Structure 1
Amino acid sequence: MKKIILFRHAKSRWDMGVSDLKRDLEEIGIDRTEKSAAYLSSIPDLKIDAWFTSPAVRAKKTAKLAVQQFKENPEIQVLENLYTFSFFDLLKEVKKLDDSIQTAILFGHNEAFTEFANRMGNEYLYNLPTSGIAILSFDTDHWKEIERGETLSIIKPKKL
């Protein structure tokens, strides 16, 4: 059984005049990320084996905020190819994960995350909001073999 946790980056600023990769977070995004991560960390028996983030500033900062809500202090690995808005590119990255990882958390971007949740889960999601989380499970022991799985949870920070 494999699980993937898609954690969309926090609401970001558009007023800074920087490239998309360097956009920072809005204050409301920080608050919502903390709420979502606290909720995630309270799920019984949730063990996250690997933490990965897009190289975008907003994704890396979201990951750093989220990890603070967990007791352990895992290493957050930057995966260059998580800076994508494409479902197909995201799927390629997920299928490359090491099979020793049972549960992975990814910090990244829409449209890739919403489309991944819709194509690979069994629950329709109109939009994964900023600081939103989708948790999916797959009945396989090998990441390269994942196919449509089960949507275990959708966490929307405005509803927390």
Structure 2
Amino acid sequence: MRRLILFRHAKSDWSLAATADHDRGLATRGRKAAGPMGAWLAGRGFRPDLVLCSTAKRAKATWDIAKGAFSPAPETRVLREAYEASAQGLLDLIRSAPSEAQTLMLVGHNPGLADLVDLLAGSGDPEARRLLSVKFPTAAIAVLDLPFDRWTETAPRAGRLDRFVTPKSLGLDVA
């Protein structure tokens, strides 16, 4: 059994219109949400063995804040391939993860993350699946259980969506 955690970057800063998409940082709201979302993960024992993070400034900043909930911080690999990746591109990253990592986290972007959940989750919490079908908002986390011995075996519709949480569902005041 493998566990996959998908963590969408927190709310980005759009105040500097001329900033390239890849270089946008976090808005105040995003900085407020990232830490508590990391604490939620740690508090429930969802500790990744390996984190694959997009190179986008907002994704790296989200994880830099959230990983403060873990001591020591999990191994992190920052990968350009995770930036603007499609569900298939993210699936390829998952399949290339080392077998030693039982729990893998991707820190990235939509629509890739939402599409990946749709691709992988064949079952799971009905309410979480319904909410995810509506929106995978910023700083949201989806946790999937995958019935495989190795990441290379990861296949569509075989996963079970265990949890889906958002800052709003946790009652965080990040406005």
Sort the TM-score into its range (normalised by shorter chain).
over 0.9
In the alignment, is residue 75 of structure 1 matched against residue 75 of structure 2? yes
Q: CA deviation at 1:36?
A: 1.4
Q: What is the distance in 2 between the residues matched to 1:117 and 1:80?
A: 21
In the alignment, is residue 141 of structure 1 matched against residue 142 of structure 2? no
Q: Secondary structure at the match of 2:40?
A: helix
Q: Could you tell me the TM-score, scaled by structure 2's length? A: 0.86
Identity %: 33
Q: CA deviation at 1:85?
A: 4.0
Give the ranges of 4+ consecutive aligned residues of structure 1 lying more than 4 Å apart after TM superposition. none
In the alignment, is residue 94 of structure 1 matched against residue 104 of structure 2? no
Aligned to 1:110: 110
Structure 1: state its 5+ residue gaps: none
RMSD: 1.3
CA contact (8 A) 1:32 1:158 kept: no
Deviations 1:31-50 (A, max 9, x none): 11122111111004x33211
Deviations 1:35-73 (A, max 9, x none): 2111111004x3321122100000000010110111222
Q: How many residues get paired? A: 159
Q: Secondary structure at the match of 2:152?
A: helix
Structure 2: state its 5+ residue gaps: 124-128, 171-175
CA contact (8 A) 1:84 1:90 kept: no
Deviations 1:61-115 (A, max 9, x none): 0010110111222332101110124111111111111111110111100001011
Q: Could you tell me the TM-score, scaled by structure 1's length? A: 0.93
Aligned to 2:126: none
